[in-house]
Amino acid sequence: MPAFPHNRPLTDPTLSVVLPNYNHARLIGRAVGALRSSRRPPDEVFIIDDASTDDSLSVIEELATGWNAIHVLKHERNEGAIAALSRGLGESSGRYIYFAAADDWIEPDFFSSAIAMLERHPEVGLYSGEARLVDGRTGRNLGTRPVIRPADRPMVFDASEVADLLRRSDNWILTGSAVFRRDRVIEAGGFSPELGSFADGYLVRKVVLQHGFCYAPAIVATWCIFEKGLSRTTATDPDQGIQAMARALAHIAGDPTFPSWYPGLLDRRWRFAMSRIAVEARPVNRPVLLALNAKSPAARLLLVAFCRVPMGTVGRLFLLGLLWLRFRPMSLIALSRTAVARYWKRGQGGRASARAHALTEWGGSSNE
C-alpha cells in the first residue's frame, strides 16, 4: 500500500508516478530524489527496469529500501520505453498520474500546483507547465519549452479551444511537465506501441482534444537532451524519422478525435523540426535534409551544393529561414511574443523569480 504522510488527509487525491529505466544507474537517483523532495510527494512510484545491463537494479532496490512508496518492476528482456510506460500505467491506481524519465527531474512545487488546478477544474484531462532544456552531457542550458506558450498567464482551455491552439503551434504540452487524470489516459487508449517515440505526443493531443487542459507558464521540470535518446535518435535518422512520421500521421488521420486538417499541418511541422535538428548538427546532417527536402533533381543539386559550403552561424540561420518559408510550421507572431515575454522575465531578476513562484503556487482565481 502507498504510504501517506501523517499531515495529509485521507481524502487527498492519490498521485501515481511511472518511471521507466534503462541503464540510467548514474542518473536515476537524482530523478527519485526530486520526486521524494516534492512538496507534495507521490503516493506510489512504479520504477520499471527494462532489463538494464548496468547496475541499475541494485541502485533502484537501494532507493526502494529508503522509501516505501517505490514499487520495483523488472523486465526480463528489453521491451522499450513504451512497454514500460504501459506496464506502469496498468499497475498504478492513483487518481492522477505522472510519467517520469530517469534522466530528468521535477521542481518541488510541480505536483502541488498541478493537483490544485486539476481539483478546481475536474472537467479537464491534464495539467501542463513548462520545461527547462539542458544538454545531458554538459549541463548547458538549451532553452525553455514550449517554444510557443498557449497563454502568458495560468489558463484553463476547454476541448473546443484546443483545435484553435493547434492551428497556431504544436508541442505546447510535454509529457515530462504534465500531470494527467489517469482515467482520461486509459480512455484515450494509453500508449500505442506502433507509434514509437511519438506515442506520448499522440496521447497528450488526444486527451486535450477530448477534455481540454490547465496550463501555467512556470518551469516545473528539467528535460535533459541526449544525442542517443529515443526521440533524438529517431529525428536524426532519415529512415526512422520518415517511417515514424508516416505511422503517426496515418494513426491521426484515422482517429475522428483529430480535425481533418491536422495531419497535413503536423506533417509540415514534423519535417521542419527534423530539418532544424539536421541544420543544427555539426556537421550538418545532409542525409536528413535531402530525404525531407529534395523533392526534385534541381532541389537536390541545390541542397547538396549548399551543404558542401562550410557553414557558420549565418549560413545555418539563412538555411533555417528558407526552411521556415517552405514549411510555415507555426505562427511567427506567437513565437515572437513568447520569446519577448521570456526575455522580459529574465531581465526582471528577483521580481521575475517571485512572479514565477507565485504562478507555481496558483490554484485558481478569477483570472482563469
Please state the domain extents for the chain.
16-102, 107-226+331-363, 231-330
Instruction: Tell me how far apart the alpha carbons of residues 152 and 338 are, in angstroms, rounded to a whole number.
Output: 8
Other beta carbons within 10 Å of 356: 19
**Closest to 179 measured CA to CA, from 140, 213, 222, 154:** 213
Q: For residue 79, what is its C-alpha cell?
A: 521491451
Per-residue pLDDT of the chain (368 residues), as tens digits, is 333 333 444 446 799 999 999 999 999 999 999 999 999 999 999 999 999 999 999 999 999 999 999 999 999 999 999 999 999 999 999 999 999 999 999 999 999 999 999 999 999 999 999 999 999 889 999 999 999 999 999 999 999 999 999 998 998 999 999 999 999 999 999 999 999 889 999 999 999 999 999 999 999 999 998 876 555 556 567 777 788 889 999 999 999 999 999 999 999 999 898 888 888 888 888 888 888 876 667 666 767 676 666 678 888 888 888 888 888 898 888 888 898 888 887 776 544 444 444 333 333 333 33
Domains 16-102 and 107-226+331-363 share a fold: yes
CATH topology of domain 16-102: Spore Coat Polysaccharide Biosynthesis Protein SpsA; Chain A (3.90.550)
Instruction: Tell me how far apart the alpha carbons of residues 185 and 298 are, in angstroms, rounded to a whole number.
Output: 47
Instruction: Tell me how far apart the alpha carbons of residues 55 and 57 are, in angstroms, rounded to a whole number.
Output: 6
Q: Are β-strands 126-135 and 178-181 bridged in parallel, bridged antiparallel, or unpaired?
A: antiparallel
Other beta carbons within 10 Å of 249: 17
CATH code matching the domain that covers 107-226+331-363, chosen among 1.20.1250.20, 3.30.1490.110, 3.90.550.10, 3.30.110.70:
3.90.550.10
Q: Which residues contact 299 (CB under 8 A, 6 or more apart)?
A: 293
**Closest to 325 measured CA to CA, from 262, 257, 272, 249:** 272
